[in-house]
Structure 1
Amino acid sequence: MSKDNILFSDIFEIKDIDREGKKFDRVSRLEARSENYEMDLVLDFNNEIYPLDINDKFSLVLASTLAIDGIGVAASEKR
């Protein structure tokens, strides 16, 4: 993935998990704060695949494409 495709990147620290209680067996809701942009994040995640705890840190990266060459396939070309 090319750096040109990265739209957002930051490290978040988990402040709370399931503050309002659990609604589903395998899904938890975390609340986190970013280090660089001081943003708040609320994220639902599968706690069996990603076992996270309060005070853990994780990196969140949003990209415009996951293609290795950095060029996504247009929807019209997929057909």
Structure 2
Amino acid sequence: MADSQLFEETFSITSINGQKYDRVSRIFGTSTDNTTSMSLDINHELFPTATGESVQMVLATTLNLDGTKDEKGWREVSRAESTLADMYDYVCHGKVYRFEEGDGEMIKVYCSFGGLLLYLEGPYKKLTSLRIDYIYLLLKK
């Protein structure tokens, strides 16, 4: 995992709740090693999923392949440049807004991507790097 990639995991989708909003579903998943659980709001028209599918998730500080910080801003990337986003099907930019350390080894991380929420719960060792404010969420099947 590169320095810019804070978290990388493959999740098996255990359930999907798409009843509340027209284009948004909340997917629930468990990591392949069963140590980390997640809940994520996604636009299911852009990234359709089904229960039982596997989804690879990466949380990164930058989309630059060399790991350098974004100087232009996330919307101003030139189409001539290759970025980390080119390798994924669904990309969002957001903020880690809450980080809870409980008793023991498990911690909780809350992120918002323009109102679409991500909740991760897992071992301290895996999630402690997510203390950085702004991150990119990248998903692919």
Q: Tell me if structure 1 keeps the 8 A contact 2:63–2:70.
A: no
CA RMSD, 1 decimal? 2.0
- The one-letter amino acid paired with 1:16 is S
How far the C-alpha of 1:37 sits from its partner, in A, is 5.8
Structure 2 alignment gaps of length 5 or more: 72-141
Higher strand share: 2
How far the C-alpha of 1:4 sits from its partner, in A, is 2.1
Runs of 4+ in 1 over 3 A off after TM superposition: none
The residue that corresponds to 1:11 in the other structure is: 10
SS at match of 2:3: helix
The residue that corresponds to 1:24 in the other structure is: 21
Structure 1 alignment gaps of length 5 or more: 75-79
Q: Percent sequence identity over matched residues?
A: 37
The residue that corresponds to 1:63 in the other structure is: 60
Larger Rg: 1
How far the C-alpha of 1:45 sits from its partner, in A, is 0.4
Structure-2-length-normalised TM-score: 0.46
- Bigger relative CO (Cα 8 Å, ≥ 6 apart): 1
Cα pair distance change 1:73/1:47, threshold 3 Å? closer
Structure-1-length-normalised TM-score: 0.79
